[in-house]
Structure 1
Amino acid sequence: MKKVVISLFAILASTGFAAAADAGCDAFKWPVTREQALFPAAPAAQSGATLTVGQAVDFSLEAVDTVSFEVPPERAPAAGTFGATANVTVPPDGELQLSLSDEAWNDVVQDGKTVKSSAFSGVKTCPGIRKSVRFKLAGGAAIVQFSGAKKADLRVAVLTPE
């Protein structure tokens, strides 16, 4: 009887894991197919780069304690993590969607103030995309800040929401 119970449990457990893996990128609240298309060919970028809406970059991050943030990150980064800043011109409609390949905190700063995100979706089962965050902003200049990354590289797609 013990073998039957253990075997049944193993079958049920593996079915649950398979279903979770199948959900993968579809588990995001919105499609991430544009990011999946952009990330493989994303050009290299350094902290201080200018981002273009509709494109992705592959950031080479710096030790977070060496990054000059416009305002302190809203979530204090842990020691030994990585970060970067970038400039972006927000389209007139004022909406941006930032999608990141790995875990990192991101802030958008406009007029010297951090702007709260309007929507967030994060999935740990989507290969190559960890989270996507939306912001409602004023058209014009903004600064994007990344901090708390555990690895020294981070792909970032800058899009308008679909």
Structure 2
Amino acid sequence: MKKVFISLFAILAGTSFAMAEDAGCEAFKWPVTREQALFAAAPATPSGATLAVGAAADLALVPAEKAGFTLPPEHAPASGTFGAVASVEVPTEGAIQISLSGEAWIDVIQDGHAIKSVGYSGVKTCPGIRKSVRFKLAAGPATVQFSGAKKAELKVAVLTPE
């Protein structure tokens, strides 16, 4: 009887955990299903690369002090963290959504100025996606800086908001 009870508890706990994972992703302010699909096949991408809108990249980060930031990050990266700089061509609509698999700060720079985000959603209980940030920009080139990451890799998706 004891084994049956323990097995039933394990099954229920596993089911609850799976439901909690699903509920974790639902806690975002907007859907992240596109990011989940893109992250599964994100190609390895070096720091300094161009990120395509509508795609994801498995971005290789470097020690923050070697990232070559265009402007100092809004939040100074802690010692021992990682960062990267990438470029993106902002579409005509001017809105982009940058989603990350892990903890990191995102700065977007256009025409030499840091651009404030217009929306943020972060969830610690969604497997594989940690945060999603929206920016309103002018069409054309922009620089994206990632800083303060605790790991040397970060999956990044750049999308137009839904």
TM-score bin (small chain) = 0.7 to 0.9
Change (3 A) 1:53 1:80: same
Partner of 2:131: 131
Q: Distance in 2 between matches of 1:52 and 1:65?
A: 25
Superposed counterparts of 1:32-111, under 5 Å: 32-111=32-111
- Count matched residues: 147
Shift of 1:24: 1.3
Coordinate RMSD, CA, aligned: 1.3
Contact 2:89 2:142 in 1 (8 A): yes
**Match for 1:68: what amino acid?**
G
In the TM superposition, structure 1's runs of 4+ consecutive aligned residues that sit over 2 Å from their partners are: 17-22
Q: Distance in 2 between matches of 1:54 and 1:116?
A: 21
Partner of 1:158: 158
Q: Distance in 1 between matches of 2:22 and 2:80?
A: 34
Mind listing any 5+ residue stretches in structure 2 that lack a counterpart?
1-12
Q: Distance in 2 between matches of 1:73 and 1:140?
A: 21
Q: Distance in 1 between matches of 2:104 and 2:113?
A: 20
**Match for 1:107: what amino acid?**
D
**Match for 1:122: what amino acid?**
G
Q: Distance in 1 between matches of 2:97 and 2:143?
A: 14
SS of 2:69's partner is coil
Q: Percentage identity across aligned positions?
A: 68
Shift of 1:67: 1.0
SS of 2:40's partner is helix
Normalised by the length of structure 2, the TM-score is 0.88
**Match for 1:138: what amino acid?**
A
Q: Distance in 2 between matches of 1:41 and 1:21?
A: 21
